[in-house]
Copies of this chain bind each other. A is one copy, B any other.
């Protein structure tokens, strides 16, 4: 240990942090544990990468880099459906990262995904709503995963709570009776709870896409009206009366 061993690189630190995150979640390791995993003193982490927050940021960036980008020629709904299915796959393997992704917003390097996403929405006709819709869809997906992560932090505790809630919901006075039956049938194993999470994710993402689709119809009408108005104004300006028949 005394000789000049090859010095540790920032990349090594971040890679170790990613490995620990896969195994224990982003909140499941400490700076001490990370240093020990690397076989160095804690201060080494601060020297090469920075404080815990900066390590987390680096881990989040690497997770984003693992998300595949759907082919640009697919229809917008398919494109986002594919993206958000992959987002879940990748982030769920790095528990706790999804939460940071929503909170931090688009990281450096996220343009790889954001640009084609915005293009696909603009091509579909979302016009000036494209960005709001992009945020809406990615927020919905990442928030759902963030909640899943948090609930799965302690599987035993989750099972306990599910059973507790199932019992509580049996009581007709509580007004949760539909929820009671539903939970009682699922709260028998952690695998079933997770399967319910997966189903809930797909359902919610589809509803979010429905919401975007409904908006698209409104925006398209607005755009069409605006085009007519512009057209009318320009024809009036040139003195032409050719297109006035569409006026009333």
Contact = CB atoms under 8 A, between A and B. Distances in A.
A44 interface: no
B179 A106 contact: yes
Contact of A130 (B110, B178, B203): B178
A126 to B, nearest CB: 11
A147 B143 contact: yes
Nearest to A131: B178
A165 interface: yes
A22 interface: no
Interface string A174-202: 11101100100000000000000000100
Main SS class of interface, A: helix
Nearest to A217: B210
Contacts of A106: 165, 176, 179
A204 B210 CA distance: 12
Interface residues of A, number: 51
Interface in A94-121: 99, 102-106, 108, 110-112, 114-116, 118
A208 interface: yes
Given A204-B139, A208-B211, A114 B175 contact: yes
B207 A211 contact: yes
A102 B142 CA distance: 14
A212 interface: yes
Given A99-B150, A211-B211, 6 more contacts: A103-B151, A106-B179, A140-B204, A143-B146, A208-B211, A211-B214
